């Protein structure tokens, strides 16, 4: 007995040593590149963002008409306010409103860089709930208010501010730079980003990297980390909605059969909610752990450094919160259910729609198979809504030059922030560009807290003036660093 106990203690000791050694070798990846004195941007840049917000370039829904005068007015404003961009860069317009600028580099053998943003915005919602008008562009000397100040006019204006400044300084890039500005991102990007990507593909253009919106400099949003964390999306989840329909005989509710179309659909939805797809640490989440784990408090560092042992624990911690769960799993969200019109009539037809966000490494076909298996009832017709299927984006590497240059620029412009790759949960226009490059990164230089995130597509969207100005410096430095 004593022997067994001694062996056990030995094993525990060996295990502890392994855990500690692994944690000690879990070294920080947050390299320093020295402070840079960023260029000053001021009043003129503020006025330009304020004016950009004033054009109500709203995307309502696919197929619905837009306020063409707002879109035309916005383009006119861009061309007027950025005269060097307008005269020195080559402009191509797609479906009337999406813009692709080409800034020719000196060295045609280098692959170009594509900087993206979109300038359509979602509707303001309950206008009365806004503290300042959603299209006011009001500057209260701390914030600029209005739709697009976070998503995503601020990025477009920041790119233009940076390029106009570089042009005024006589800067000529070594590699060609494209600026791709979509007008319909909020409703799929079909006519904007997708058309631009198809055009580039047809011309045989390959890019070194693409940078689009998606993530941000987050403040207080990464658990256990006090410092801000600049997150860069290296992949994005896929999208699939499925309609479930059952048709059965109905009848009077005084003599119900054991089952009806309604109970069958309710059961199917309940089964999908109860039995979800398995959690997994996908590539971008593993990379996140590699970059952020070493900055965690000691206890968490030991866990993150020893995924070989703690993976089940990590997965159960992630699965515990809605936002964590979305990072490790293909999520299941029933969003529509319809049946019945009268309290004493059993409906003959019932339907539901369930929305899935697909984890990289899985596909819409995998999800459909899962659905069939879980429901396991031939009375339920399972039908994917074809118009909205996106497979998860391919996984962009962190050792590629594009990621490294974004990383370096972030560490220079936001020296107080850690930088980490991660998985983007929502769809961006950049997904259309996977035919142009393997290196697609999703980050816009805005600083956000959890409270700010609610303003994106919500009420009272606004950006802090100092954050916006720093965002311009980010693009300015990024272009210089990308040479
Ligand atoms: Zn956006």
Distance 186 CA to ligand 1 centre (A): 7
Per-10-residue mean pLDDT of the chain, 483 residues long, equals 90 93 92 81 94 97 92 98 98 98 97 98 94 97 97 98 97 98 95 98 98 97 95 97 96 92 97 96 94 95 94 93 94 96 95 97 97 98 92 95 98 96 95 96 96 94 96 96 93
Distance in Å, CA 427 to ligand 1 centroid: 9
Q: Measure the CA–CA gap between 179 and 161, rounded to whole angstroms.
A: 12
Q: What domains are there in the chain, each with its CATH number?
A: 43-233+394-481 (3.40.630.10), 237-388 (3.30.70.360)
CA of 215 from ligand 1 middle (Å) equals 10
3-state helix, strand, coil in the chain (%, to 5): 40, 20, 40
Query: Separation of 15 CA from ligand 1 center, angstroms?
Result: 47
The answer to whether residues 85 and 167 touch, using CB atoms and an 8 Å cutoff, is yes
What is the tally of helices (H) and strands (E) in the chain? 15, 18
Write down the pLDDT at residue 316. Answer: 93
State residue 428's pLDDT score: 95
> What are 428's two structure tokens?
């961006």
pLDDT of residue 50: 98
Q: Tell me the HSE value of 341 on the side-chain side, using a 13 A CA sphere.
A: 4
The structure tokens listed for 288 are 């996140």
Distance from C-alpha of 442 to C-alpha of 114, rounded to nearest angstrom:
12
Confidence at residue 388, expressed as pLDDT on a 0 to 100 scale: 81
- Nearest Cα neighbor of 217 from 52, 63, 417 is 417
Nearest Cα neighbor of 247 from 382, 375, 347, 368 is: 347
Give the distance (Å) from ligand 1 centre to CA of residue 182: 10
Phi, psi values for residue 55, rounded to 5° = -85, 115
| Residue 295 tokens, joined | 């900055």
Give the whole-angstrom CA distance, residue 3 versus residue 76.
Answer: 84
Cα 118 to averaged position of ligand 1 atoms, centre (Å): 7
- Considering the entire predicted model, what is its pTM? 0.93
How many Cα atoms within 13 Å fall on the side-chain side of residue 332? 20
pLDDT recorded at residue 453: 92
Distance CA 335, CA 267 (A): 15
Is 399 labeled as catalytic in the residue annotation? no
CA of 439 to the centre of ligand 1 (A): 19
* Cβ atoms 142, 434 nearer than 8 A: no
Q: Please state, as a whole number, how many other Cβ atoms lie within 10 Å of the Cβ of residue 383.
A: 14
Question: At 126, is the secondary structure helix, strand, or coil?
Answer: coil
Burial class (CB in 10 A: 0-12, 13-18, 19+), 377: middle
Chain centroid to CA 329: 16
Q: How far is CA 408 from the centre of its chain?
A: 21
Which distant-in-sequence residues (6+ apart) come within 8 Å of 470 by Cβ?
38, 413, 414, 445, 447
Which pLDDT score is estimated for 251?
82
The rounded distance, in Å, linking the Cα atoms of 455 and 469 is: 20
Alpha carbons 365 and 250: distance in angstroms, whole number: 33
Residue with token string 């000053």: 40
Nearest-angstrom CA–CA distance, 454 and 262: 35
359 DSSP 8-state letter: P
* Residue 464, CB-side half-sphere exposure with 13 Å CA sphere: 10
Task: For residue 84, report the distance from its CA to the centre of ligand 1, in Å.
Answer: 26
What would you report as the CA-atom Rg of the chain, rounded to the nearest whole angstrom? Answer: 25
Q: Among residues 364, 367, 359, which one has the least CA distance to residue 387?
A: 364
Say how far apart CA 248 and CA 289 lie, in whole Å: 50
Of the residues 151, 185, 186, 212, only one is catalytic, namely 185
Q: Report residue 92 as tokens.
A: 């191509």
The pLDDT value given to residue 229? 98
Considering 120, 212, 295, 362, which one is annotated as catalytic? 120
SS3 34: coil
| Cis-peptide, bond into residue 152, ω within 30° of zero | yes
For residues 188 and 168, give the distance between their C-alpha atoms in angstroms, rounded to a whole number.
35
Distance 59 CA to ligand 1 centre (A): 11
Predicted confidence at residue 396, as pLDDT, reads 97
DSSP 298-326: HHHHHHHHTHHHHHHHHHHHHHTSHHHHH
Return the H-helix or E-strand segment holding 280: none
Active site residue 185: yes
């Amino acid at each position: 007995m004593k022997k067994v106990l001694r062996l056990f203690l030995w094993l525990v000791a060996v295990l502890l040593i392994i855990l500690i050694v692994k944690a000690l070798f879990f070294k920080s990846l947050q390299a320093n590149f020295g402070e840079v004195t960023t260029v000053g941007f001021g009043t003129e840049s503020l006025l330009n963002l304020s004016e950009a917000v004033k054009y109500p370039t709203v995307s309502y829904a696919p197929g619905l008409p837009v306020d063409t005068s707002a879109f035309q007015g916005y383009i006119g404003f861009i061309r007027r306010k950025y005269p060097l961009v307008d005269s020195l860069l080559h402009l191509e317009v797609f479906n009337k409103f999406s813009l692709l600028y080409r800034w020719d580099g000196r060295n045609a053998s280098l692959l170009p860089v594509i900087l993206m943003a979109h300038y359509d915005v979602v509707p303001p919602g309950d206008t009365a709930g806004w503290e300042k008008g959603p299209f006011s562009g009001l500057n209260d000397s701390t914030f600029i208010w209005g739709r697009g100040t976070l998503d995503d006019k601020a990025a477009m204006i920041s790119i233009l501010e940076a390029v106009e400044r570089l042009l005024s300084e006589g800067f000529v890039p070594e590699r060609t730079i494209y600026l791709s500005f979509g007008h319909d991102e909020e409703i799929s990007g079909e006519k904007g980003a997708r058309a631009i990507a198809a055009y580039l593909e047809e011309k045989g253009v390959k890019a070194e990297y693409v940078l689009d919106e998606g993530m941000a400099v987050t403040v207080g949003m990464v658990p256990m980390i006090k410092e801000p964390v600049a997150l860069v999306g290296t992949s994005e989840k896929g999208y699939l909605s499925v309609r479930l329909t059952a048709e059965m005989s109905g009848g009077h509710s005084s003599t119900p059969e054991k089952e009806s179309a309604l109970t069958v659909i309710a059961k199917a939805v309940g089964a999908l909610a109860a039995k979800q797809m398995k959690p997994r640490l996908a590539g971008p989440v593993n990379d996140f752990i590699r970059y952020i784990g070493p900055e965690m408090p000691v206890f968490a560092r030991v866990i993150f450094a020893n995924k070989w042992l703690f993976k089940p624990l990590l997965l159960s911690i992630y699965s515990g919160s809605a936002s964590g769960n979305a990072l490790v799993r293909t999520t299941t969200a029933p969003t529509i259910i319809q049946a019945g019109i009268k309290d004493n009539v059993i409906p003959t037809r019932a339907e539901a729609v369930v929305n899935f966000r697909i984890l990289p490494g899985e596909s819409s076909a995998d999800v459909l198979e899962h659905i069939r298996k879980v429901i396991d009832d031939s009375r339920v017709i399972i039908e994917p809504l074809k118009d909205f299927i996106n497979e998860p984006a391919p996984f962009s590497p962190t050792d590629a030059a594009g990621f490294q240059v974004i990383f370096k620029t972030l560490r220079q412009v936001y020296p107080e922030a850690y930088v980490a790759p991660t998985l983007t949960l929502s769809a961006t226009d950049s997904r259309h560009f996977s035919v142009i490059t393997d290196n697609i990164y999703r980050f816009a230089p805005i600083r956000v807290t959890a409270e700010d995130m609610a303003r994106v597509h919500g009420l009272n969207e606004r950006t802090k003036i100092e954050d916006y100005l720093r965002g311009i410096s980010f693009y300015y430095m990024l272009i210089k660093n990308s040479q």
